[in-house]
A = this chain, B = another copy of it.
Amino acid sequence: MNSLAEPVARVSIDLGPRSYDILIGSGLLDAPASWSDLPDATTAAIVTDSNVAPLYAGRLKASLSAKYPKTTLIQLPSGEAHKDWAAMNSIFDALLGSGCDRKTLLFALGGGVVGDVTGFAAACYMRGVAYVQIPTTLLAQVDSSVGGKTAINHALGKNMIGAFYQPLRVVADIDTLRSLPKREVAAGLAEVIKYAPIADASFLGWLEEHLDELLALDASALQTAVRRSCEIKAIVVGRDEREEGLRAILNFGHTFGHAIETGLGHGQWLHGEAVGCGMVMAADLSARLGLIDAGYASRLKALIAAAGLPVRGPDSLKVDRYLELMRMDKKAHGGEIRFVVLEAVGRAGVRTAPDGLVTQVIEANSA
């Protein structure tokens, strides 16, 4: 427990009957108050992975026990390679095998993969049961656990199969971030940094000022960064739950980034690393389209590099393969690639761009 802990922050996502809160603070995992007002359930099923289980599963089970006397622990293999139907089906096997009914509550304890697979499993099990996100990585706390996008991967593309399905609550215990390897912290910072150029010009300055504290896992700085990220995501998701317009801006850097992840094979670069590099490319594209100053793109690139993220695409991935992969992006319409670009400092939009210009961007920003 952090003796200098800030009070627990609460960010609300306003989606009518599907509204919910994100709790952000220290010690939340062990606090029965984190769950006491959730609905009753016949069984609480904790879904986690082989990395996270030894660290936190026992503590979560103890913390839930006052509210849910019966808990089932479901452990998935860890890693993006297991964000697939086999993992989903192992959840279904366990739920059906232990007689879990429609009043079962799932608790997704882990990073983005656990959250995405568990959320999609909750969406599909008996046509939908409730679930709670307990993200234990920075990336999951600031991005994937919030907003109800759930999915598994398909051989032909990342996150191609899934559902919009909102959790009942997100509980982000920032103490869990202390167990993260440095590389995962940097990957999470990519999604934190993302919010500045697309929605909050002043947040970029705050990040430049507090980057060292964030990299040192200072609790107060982390709580502020997670809270501000969730606030921005809450506004965007509240306006466009099903990604019919505005929400696409949250994919800034992701069109290039997904191409890098899929092109190299999942597991080579972390998602956040690919997004970091993808944001450099997307900012460069925005500058070449005349939307922002080259100076702002450079400033963003410097922050991404200082966070320990790659700023050049992998040597092995060629332009044609980028274009091929980006044409399968979910934002594409009729084979035309749509990029999230910066339309000004702190404002993003979705545009098409000539293949020639995209080629220049990829070549200028590859190793």
Q: Provide a sorted-by-A list of 8 A–B residue pairs whose CB atoms are within 8 angstroms.
A: A85-B85, A103-B334, A124-B162, A126-B330, A127-B242, A128-B164, A128-B242, A163-B163
* A160 interfacial by beta-carbon distance below 8 Å: yes
How long is the Cα–Cα vector from A161 to B128 in the complex, in angstroms? 9
Given contacts A127-B164, A163-B123, contact A333 B89 (CB under 8 A): no
Partner of A127, one of B149, B157, B328: B149
Partner of A97, one of B128, B156, B162: B156
* A99 interfacial by beta-carbon distance below 8 Å: yes
Contact A99 B160 (CB under 8 A): no
Contact A332 B101 (CB under 8 A): yes
Contact A103 B333 (CB under 8 A): yes
Partner of A96, one of B125, B149, B157: B157
Partner of A92, one of B150, B154, B164: B154
Which positions 287-336 of chain A face chain B at CB distance < 8 Å?
327-328, 330, 332-335
How long is the Cα–Cα vector from A335 to B104 in the complex, in angstroms? 12
* A151 interfacial by beta-carbon distance below 8 Å: yes
How long is the Cα–Cα vector from A156 to B161 in the complex, in angstroms? 23
Residue on B nearest A102 in the bound complex, by CB: B330
Given contacts A92-B154, A154-B96, A335-B99, contact A161 B330 (CB under 8 A): no
SS of A interface (majority)? mixed
A residues whose Cβ falls under 8 Å from a Cβ of B: 42, 85, 89, 92-93, 96-97, 99, 101-103, 123-128, 149-151, 154, 156-157, 160-164, 242-243, 327-328, 330, 332-335
CB distance from A124 to the nearest CB of B (A): 5
How long is the Cα–Cα vector from A364 to B330 in the complex, in angstroms? 56
CB distance from A347 to the nearest CB of B (A): 24
Given contacts A85-B85, A154-B96, A330-B102, contact A127 B162 (CB under 8 A): yes
CB distance from A143 to the nearest CB of B (A): 16
A102-B330, A127-B162, A128-B163 given; 9 more Cβ-contact pairs under 8 Å: A92-B154, A92-B161, A93-B156, A96-B154, A96-B157, A97-B156, A99-B327, A101-B332, A101-B333
